[in-house]
Amino acid sequence: MFKKLVNTNNDVVVLILRLMLGIVFFPHGMQKLLGWYGGYGFEGTMGFFTGTFGIPAVFAFLAIMAEGLGSLGLITGLFTRVAAFGVTVNMLVAVKMLHLQHGFFMNWFGNQKGEGYEFHLLAIVIGVALMIRGGGALSVDGLLSDKK
C-alpha cells in the first residue's frame, strides 16, 4: 500500500503542477496555521471555522492541516497524493459552502458580494491530476518509489 501511495515517475509536467499548487496554497495555509501573511493563526481560524461556519472541530482541524501541511507536502513532493487529496477536498467544501452562490467568475471588479469558483476548479483539477500521477520529478515520493 505504501508503494502505491508514493509511486511516481520523473514527469516534469507533474513537478510544475505540484509546485504551483503548493506555492499558491502555502501562504493561505500559513495564514491559518501560523498567523503569517496577516492570518489569524491556528486558534483564530479554528474559532472562525467552528463558530462562524459551524464546522465540527475535527473537520476544521483537517482543513487547516490540509492547507498548511498539505502545501509543504506538495512543494517537497512528500505524500503528494495525500496532500493533493486534502487540498482538493478543501476546495470542494469551499465551493459548496461559500463560492457556488456567487457564480463562476472571481470578483475581479469588486461588484459581487463574494468570489466565484473559477480558481477553485483549477485547484481541484490540479489536485485530481496529482492524485492520479503522484509527485513526479524531484519529489520525495520519487526517492521513496521503486520507479525512477
Cβ–Cβ contacts within 10 Å for residue 125, how many?
13
148 pLDDT higher than 80: no
Q: Which three cell numbers stand for residue 27?
A: 501562504
- Name which of 92, 91, 119, 93 is nearest 106 in CA terms: 119
Region 122-142 average pLDDT: 97
Q: Which three cell numbers stand for residue 92?
A: 470542494
Instruction: Give me the residue spans of the domains in the chain.
Output: 12-138
32 pLDDT higher than 90: yes
> What's the pLDDT tens digit per position in 67-117?
999 999 999 999 999 999 999 999 999 999 999 999 899 888 888 888 989
Region 35-63 average pLDDT: 97
Region 28-38 average pLDDT: 97
Region 11-35 average pLDDT: 98
Which of left, alpha, beta for 145 (phi over 0: left; psi -120 to 50: alpha)? Answer: beta
146 pLDDT higher than 70: no
Q: Which three cell numbers stand for residue 121?
A: 476548479
Confidence class of residue 147 from pLDDT cuts 50, 70 and 90?
low
How far is Cα 102 from Cα 27, in angstroms, rounded to an integer?
24
Cβ–Cβ contacts within 10 Å for residue 24, how many?
17
Q: What is the rounded average pLDDT for all residues in the chain? A: 95
How far is Cα 120 from Cα 116, in angstroms, rounded to an integer?
8
How far is Cα 117 from Cα 30, in angstroms, rounded to an integer?
22
How far is Cα 47 from Cα 40, in angstroms, rounded to an integer?
10
